[in-house]
Amino acid sequence: MSIARVMFRKCSGRICYAPNYWQWFTHHRNHGTLPAEIARCGSQLELIRWLGLDVFSRNIYCDPTRYWFGGLAEEIWGGVEVEEHRTTDGRDIVTEKTYRNKVGTLTERLRYRFAESTLVQEKFLLDEPAPPLEAFVALARARRWRFRRDRFDAVQREADCSRGAPSPRPLDARTPTERRDYNSADVSKSESVAVVNAGELFSPLKLLHLAAGADKAVYLLADYPELCREAMDAHEAAQLDLVRQMCAAGVTVMTAMDNLDAMFHPPHYVEQYSASFYEKASRICRENSAKFFIHACGQQRALLPLIGALGVDGLEGVAFPPLGDVALDEALRLGGERLIITGGISAAEFQRLTTRDAVFEYVGELFARMKPYAHRFIFSASCNTPYTAPWQTIVWFRDAWRSLQ
């Protein structure tokens, strides 16, 4: 109930806590180091429920060995031959994908490092000294996505049933009156607090980051502006089609997985390359009683007024000092009167808060500042829970959240 109310900026009576344990849980499960009390948890979702926390997640359904996000939408190619080879190197998993079209061939390679339970890019599509941009433009034009409603419905049912509650009817199955009531946040007490956040999207600028790396993307935009624009325009059209598909399937929250950071997404780049996508996606969501978020990671201060003005509903995982450049309460003020943010715990907190008293002091001070914004704030990870986080500290954060409301 509380997460649903925050999505409509209504006071829930408490601060919601919906952490992200994706990497932490995967690492300790695969390495056989889960603490005894949670050793029988088979998924991140089961761990979240064991701790008694809220569910607002865009990765309870993701395969971390394949990509950093996604899993509810499949790529559909027209006139492109795609080959994928997965091999093992020790305990690492190496995935190489080759794309062939009439214009050329592009290849990328990803490595899942078992020791660190993380995915790294070893080869980008546009790695070559003379990048095959014509082939890349043809690739962007040839790609569409198909949203897997069956998969989404199954994940949402699992999230709902894990708390012993019946699944609510999807929005597109409700009467116009029911949809209007939900959109006005007149949410009944029978609604599930579990929200599966469909983290399937990425902006035109992120398209270049994923294809070339954020650093090389700067040079491509300077040296080949027309070709880059052609690829980004085609990508935006395909992604907006995916937004419409998700809305039609009853998705209530979706996220662009952009790692929005002013160092790599400076305001003038956002205005040139991403603002159109963000504004149109936000509008489509508003028209369909859904919410549009962007994954944020890094420096946010310079971006907040712009993002708020584009109609974006929320930023997921806002970083704060020392990793970011703006305090969370200040971020809510800079982002306008409607922007929702999640965050509050970073890798730095797991390093420096080594006692129960220190955790309780930190959470108490944070909650005192965030209480006036409880209708637009979700206590969470900024951006993930590192696999090095001590289990006892995770439990202390849970206990502090329960005690200091």
37 near 220, Cβ under 8 Å?
Answer: no
- Mean pLDDT is lowest, of 9-13, 18-22, 228-232, 273-277, for 9-13
Across 90-117, average pLDDT = 97
- pLDDT of residue 109 exceeding 60, the answer is yes
- Mean pLDDT is lowest, of 7-16, 88-97, 316-325, 373-382, for 7-16
Higher-confidence residue of 2 and 315: namely 315
Across 91-99, average pLDDT = 98
Across 61-79, average pLDDT = 96
Across 342-371, average pLDDT = 97
CATH number reported for the structural domain that contains residue 319 in this entry: 3.20.20.210
Specify the pLDDT at position 162: 64
Residue 184, in any domain of the structure:
yes
- pLDDT of residue 176 exceeding 50, the answer is no
Specify the pLDDT at position 167: 41
Model confidence at 128, pLDDT cuts 50, 70, 90, reads confident
- Within 8 A by CB and 6+ apart from 284, the residues are 240, 243, 244, 247, 290
- pLDDT of residue 14 exceeding 90, the answer is no
pLDDT in tens, 268-291: 999 999 999 999 999 999 999 999
Residue 370, in any domain of the structure:
yes
Across 370-399, average pLDDT = 95
Higher-confidence residue of 178 and 260: namely 260
Higher-confidence residue of 279 and 382: namely 279
Q: Count the domains in the chain.
A: 1
Reading the block at residue 226, the tokens are 């027309």
Residue 128, in any domain of the structure:
no
Residue 381, in any domain of the structure:
yes
Specify the pLDDT at position 11: 77
Work out the percent of the chain whose per-residue pLDDT is above 70.
92
Q: Which residue is listed with tokens 């003005």?
A: 309
Across 204-225, average pLDDT = 97
CA distances from 133 to 88, 108, 228, 368 (A): 30, 14, 8, 51
Residue 247, in any domain of the structure:
yes
Strands 73-77 and 143-147, sheet pairing:
antiparallel
Higher-confidence residue of 376 and 382: namely 376
Amino acid at site 63: D
- pLDDT of residue 10 exceeding 60, the answer is yes
Global pTM value = 0.92
Residue 191, in any domain of the structure:
yes
338 near 9, Cβ under 8 Å?
Answer: yes
Peptide bond into 267 cis (omega under 30): no
- Within 8 A by CB and 6+ apart from 333, the residues are none
Q: Buried b vs exposed e over 216-235: b needs ≥16 C-beta within 10 Å? A: bbbebbeebeebbebbbebb
Q: Which domain holds residue 322?
A: 2-72+143-403
- Mean pLDDT is lowest, of 115-124, 187-196, 329-338, 344-353, for 187-196
Residue 346, in any domain of the structure:
yes
Work out the percent of the chain whose per-residue pLDDT is above 90.
87
Specify the pLDDT at position 338: 95
Residue 32, in any domain of the structure:
yes
Average pLDDT of the residues of the chain: 92
